[in-house]
Amino acid sequence: MSATSTSEFIWFNGKLIPWQEANVHVMSHALHYGSSVFEGIRAYVTPNGTCIFRLKEHIDRLFNSAKIYRFPLAYTKEEIMEACKAVVRENKLESGYIRPLAFMGNVGLGLSFPKDAKADVMVGAIPWGAYLGEEGLQKGVRVGVSSWNRLAPNTIPTEAKAGGNYLSSILIANEAHQNGYDEAIALDVNGYVSEGSGENIFVIKDKVLYTAPFTCGLLPGITRASVITLARDLGYEVVEQRIPREMVYLADELFFSGTAAEITPIASVDGIDVGAGCRGPITKHIQETFFAYVKGESEDRHGWLTRV
């Protein structure tokens, strides 16, 4: 299923309502200024029923994003976590993609919010398969280095997962597709590797995993953090450091990580094959370990699965 799929119910400001009735006013602040923060969360079918992967960490990040932008939320973390479970359950989804969103509604057109304004909150859930395609999970995707840089420090905070930030991602993704690539790698303002349009990146060289630090203009990905933990559990060394552009051309393996992308190998960059031009053995090992974990086929030793 694609990201254009629908479902029966959406949780909107404390109530489950039919999908078609979840509407907002055209004068909503978020439509005009991008004043929204959101999350992408996956639920997987497991032997113990449907479970949401790292629900608490996602909702913690939602609230952190709201804190940075000073969005006043009328609901608690516990209420929104329960809403995430409810939309999966009531839409009868065994697996799927969950989208919590907090946004400033019809609060006027001033850039600052009125003192008594509260953000609207919704949680939707849809069926959604592999973001970059099932074939991409197996064979890897073709990417190009974007001409668009990621956001500079002290301009727009990249540690917030905010709607307005993703105008940058739209430019990066559209350019990649127009140039015939599946996805792109964006550099930071200093020319170091940052992330994809909506994914973090790992470089593998001599059996060591490298990933860029948060100071390179990337979102602190929850799947990224999970990969670091799982890779170290498997005995791999993981290093967070600045990654020069040429390092991706000389890598033994590359892969994207993200809630939507999950673990997607990168087969080539700018037409240059990565390693053998297909998924490498370490990427395969980490990918299989990740999917075994989220699908409940291995022990939940880190407490990352929440039953619906």
Residues with catalytic function: 161
**Residue (of 14, 3, 17, 2) closest to 91 by Cα position:** 17
Tell me the backbone φ, ψ of residue 185, rounded to 5 degrees.
-110, 125
Q: Are 183 and 199 in contact (CB under 8 A)?
A: yes
CA distances from 132 to 10, 47, 170 (A): 25, 26, 15
Length of the chain: 308
Phi-psi map region of 67: left, alpha, beta (phi>0 left; psi -120 to 50 alpha): alpha
In angstroms, the CA 16 to CA 10 distance is 6
Q: Following DSSP, what letter does each residue of 81-103 receive, concatenated?
A: HHHHHHHHHHTT-SSEEEEEEEE
Q: Are 269 and 249 in contact (CB under 8 A)?
A: yes
**Terminal alpha carbon distance of the chain:** 21
Phi-psi map region of 13: left, alpha, beta (phi>0 left; psi -120 to 50 alpha): left
